[in-house]
Structure 1
């Protein structure tokens, strides 16, 4: 019960901090895109700090931090893996659900840093939307973060990898950096309880451009799932 109360307090102050930082950063971000990056990075680092002190949830980002124009293909288990990645990479931008554009504060800052909204639905149209957003002439350079499974996936749940990541990998000719995580063990995709422990996002060795599509997808899924399973086992999650 005490941990649940601490979790509720943490969540309330987390969103309060978002509103407070928006008041300060929005006027700056209107005129300077760099201020939008400063805002999201500062906020994410604050959430990591407050999670440690309020609910005992420590966090680490392992591996070489991607820089330049690269694709980051990450396991997605909860909002906290977004927090960890954005707190470290210099110019993050996401393939995100189109509905998030209308989220207060979050939606505007997401567009300002170059996130690409995509409507869920028919696969072909979703891929076309992704490519238009990624290759648009006004799209800022940076690290494009995409979730190959298309949504948050709870620990221990199997969900197929989608081909959209491979299409972007082929069309852009960029390096793809896989990323594994165990954050869902402590910060679930649903519910209020935040558990103490060590949440990790780990950047894995990059996949160079030019791989065959099928080989790329097989390697990507194997690397991410194997590393994520290892992180979850280290966190005490009983994988079957």
Structure 2
């Protein structure tokens, strides 16, 4: 009986958190819109403010704490991250001064997220056309029309639930060789506490860990193998730390 009551209470608090999280997105978007219209720095400030609120309200309402380990990069770098839920998006972005994502083009049309994402320099891409988008971005940075920053890509291309095995996309290796800069691998366990689907947000410590930089110059295949080994090993350790004991499986 007591366990059922605790579960129901946690589920209810999780639902309240989710509702207010989306309301807060609209409120922050409105408050920061004038500044964002004047300068991309205003959009960047609004995005960081939203991250702070979500992280704060998550802890206050659900008891889930967040922790960033390792050294988040502050120089122009390719960030290749594990993606398990919306929380790792917020934590990784908020840990760095000027992050920008490679995002699916459809997100351009999402309320608030789409416009603010474009304003801070996120790169909308169609499937199979990342190379063209990156070439354009690098030209804009070189010409001074876009500030350099940390380019974030999810190497598996989508959210991957804990225990699910999914290959790393060759596009990440192509970007690494094309950009010719350091790569910061990022591991996480957030999906154990904030699942890919469902309402429940569990108590515990959600972690994103910035691993040692991989220097430029490796062949794409060697880089991708190293990236996958390092991120998966670290993520598995973090998930075990969070209490995950499920089997590894390959999606159908």
The answer to whether the 8 A contact 1:116-1:133 is kept is no
TM (normalized to structure 1)? Answer: 0.95
Tell me the CA shift for residue 36 of structure 1. Answer: 1.0
Tell me which of 145, 150, 155 is aligned to 1:148.
Answer: 155
1:115-156 CA-to-partner distances (Å, cap 9, x unmatched) read 011123xx3xx2334424432414431000000100000000
Show structure 2 runs of 5+ residues with no match: 1-7, 248-252
The answer to whether the 8 A contact 2:131-2:175 is kept is no
The answer to whether the 8 A contact 2:67-2:207 is kept is yes
Q: Quote the Cα distance in structure 2 between the aligned partners of 1:220 and 1:63.
A: 16
Please tell me whether Structure 1 or Structure 2 has the larger radius of gyration of its CA atoms: 2
- Residues 154-173 of structure 1 aligned to structure 2 (within 5 Å): 154-173=161-180
- Residues 128-143 of structure 1 aligned to structure 2 (within 5 Å): 128-137=131-140, 138-143=145-150
Tell me which of 188, 193, 196 is aligned to 2:195.
Answer: 188
Q: Quote the Cα distance in structure 2 between the aligned partners of 1:229 and 1:239.
A: 11
The equivalent of 2:225 in structure 1 is 218
The answer to whether the 8 A contact 1:44-1:87 is kept is yes
The equivalent of 1:127 in structure 2 is 130
Tell me the CA shift for residue 18 of structure 1. Answer: 1.0
Q: Quote the Cα distance in structure 2 between the aligned partners of 1:51 and 1:39.
A: 18
C-alpha RMSD over aligned residues: 1.1
Query: Helix, strand or coil: the match of 1:151?
Result: coil
1:80-132 CA-to-partner distances (Å, cap 9, x unmatched) read 00111122200010011111100000100000111011123xx3xx2334424
The answer to whether the 8 A contact 1:25-1:39 is kept is yes
Q: Quote the Cα distance in structure 2 between the aligned partners of 1:19 and 1:163.
A: 36
Query: Helix, strand or coil: the match of 2:176?
Result: helix
The equivalent of 1:235 in structure 2 is 242
Q: Quote the Cα distance in structure 2 between the aligned partners of 1:193 and 1:118.
A: 31
Runs of 4+ in 1 over 6 A off after TM superposition: none
